[in-house]
Amino acid sequence: MDEKERARAKARAARRRKQQMMRLRIAILAVLIVALVALILLIGKMKKDSGKPEQTGSVSVSQEGNSEGTSGGVIESEGVPIDNGNTEPAPAAGSREGIIAEAKALAVQYDYQGAIDLLNTVSNIENDSEVAGLISEYQTALASLVPTSPYNVTHVFFHSLVVDPYRGFSLKDDVPGWNNATEGFCEWMTTVDEYNRILQQMYDRGYVLISLYDMVEETVGEDGLVHMTPKDIMLPEGKIPFVLSLDDLSYYHSYDGRGCATKMIIGEDGKPTCEYVDAEGNTLVGSYDCVPLLDDFLEVHPDFSYKGAKGTIAFTGYNGIFGYRTDYCYRDRVELTADQEAWLALHPEYDWNAECEKAKAVADCVRADGWTFASHTWGHMHIGDAGMDRVVADTEKWLNYVKPLLGECDIIIFAHGQDLANWTEEYSSTEKFQYLKNQGFNIFCNVDSSQYFVEFGDLYMRQGRRNLDGYRLYQAVFGGDDRTSDLYDAASVWDQNRPTNPELYDLQ
């Protein structure tokens, strides 16, 4: 196990110890509460026995607490602990302290109105100076917000991350055939270290992650169609909204053995995490890809997200989703590629229905974590080159075998950087647009190297995305073409374990 793996193992052990300590403290608190209630009952009985008037009614456990800052309530099982460095148990859900904690969490992520509305539910608010002070503070913060036009929102994207550069970038010369996919991995993929550095540098520059839906108002017209109107994003002065998306989170067979995560699972804490097979064949669980790593970052920097926004994940379907083999070809044993046949041979216990159930459970968990979903076309299709017959056939496969696992989504992110129309065509008049619009898609994203490309029509929003990958890093560091300097310093992001051969990055 290398130093990074040992560090992650220590971190996991530390989290487990912290959780155990939390449970112990809650158990001790529960015992103390029971003892306190028993003592009160005993005192009441003694008063009655001594001939003094007895208080009527039962002992109550308050859900609101009191203005001195003690809840007086039982910590309920559904109360969500807030990790703020305090080892004390989290306040009870619905208690005064619980409401204050939740309001502060909303305010940290710029939802000042939500925080104000929540604080106004506290009982006896007119006599609660702390709550009144917070409401005043958040009203001032709300009034100070400034708008950013959606036309000035940049959209960045990543593929799955490389955990082990030596395997991902084919640096193990003793493995036969290891260089077959070298160029693709060097160009398209980002390493875990690079991803973490990019997040940190963007945070340091004032960037704040928003959802695609924060940019648009969707309304249904009398025609039954969704109509789109641009919407400003309200943030404090100096904050810069941006959108994040992830491509191909399917963990293709072609990634096997190349030092990437192998699938997403639901962790012991109920949040999405990853499985990863290391170079020795050990299956590890942890933050080995974009989704859990962003969660880790937001635990430390919750103000990096606007109202809890995460990103949008774009899925193909031909190898399944999230690392689960959910496509019909596995079920029916038809149209199989060589790597699909090899995978099935290694998994004789494969059950398509069970695989779909697992994938859907992970999808529900990821959506609950704040992520939204998009089509990336079923077969990673070149939408601009494809004829209508292929567009229809591919879309039907995605709607039949991917959407039922993900739930509703109205975003399509095109593969290979293509778009459904060329620059001389009116977007919504094209046959491909009209077909996809009728299938429920309203937001359309391609790849664009410019800082901003956002277009609104009555029936759509269209946005260009910027690839933050090996190609773009190499061009910035070695090729004299830095198109990401507004986001981060490429030289300090560059992973020193990457190869520097120009031909691997399409730079001869």
Q: What is the DSSP letter of 150?
A: G
Q: Which range among 15-19, 403-407, 458-462 shows the weakest confidence by mean pLDDT?
A: 15-19
How do residues 73-113 score in pLDDT, each as one tens digit? Answer: 222 222 233 344 445 667 777 789 999 999 999 999 999 99
Supply the pTM of this predicted model: 0.81
* Residue range 471-498, pLDDT digits in tens: 999 999 999 999 999 999 999 999 999 9
CB count, 10 Å around CB of 397? 19
Give the pair of three-digit tokens for residue 419. Answer: 């778009």
User: Shortest CA distance to 468 belongs to which of 150, 155, 153, 259?
Assistant: 155
Closest to 320 measured CA to CA, from 347, 299, 301: 347
Which pLDDT tens digit goes with each residue over 411-433?
999 999 889 987 778 999 999 99
Task: Tokens 């959506």: give the residue.
Answer: 367
Supply the DSSP string of 427-475, one letter for each residue: GGGSHHHHHHHHTT--EEEEE--SS--EEEETTEEEEEEEE-SHHHHHH
| Tokens coding 434 | 């009209």
The answer to whether residues 292 and 286 touch, using CB atoms and an 8 Å cutoff, is yes
Q: Are 187 and 471 in contact, with CB atoms under 8 Å apart?
A: yes
Whose tokens are 């309203």? That residue is 442
- Nearest partner of 166 among 497, 469, 505, judged by Cα: 497
State the Cα–Cα distance between residues 505 and 317, nearest whole angstrom: 27
Using CA atoms, how far apart are residues 206 and 155, in angstroms rounded to an integer? 15
| Helix ranges restricted to H, 326-462 | 328-332, 338-346, 352-368, 388-401, 403-406, 431-438
For tokens 């160029």, name the residue: 183
Q: What is the pLDDT of residues 157-211, one digit of tens each?
A: 999 999 999 899 876 555 444 465 788 899 999 999 999 999 999 999 999 999 9
Mean pLDDT of 350-359: 98
Which DSSP category does 420 fall into?
S
> Phi first, then psi: what are they for 315, rounded to 5°?
-115, 135
Q: How confident is the model at residue 47 (pLDDT cuts 50, 70, 90)?
A: very low
Query: Whole-angstrom Cα distance, residue 369 to residue 380?
Result: 26
- Cβ-based burial of 267 (10 A; exposed 0-12, middle 13-18, buried ≥19): middle
- Read off the tokens for 309: 């926004």
Largest CA distance in the chain: 99
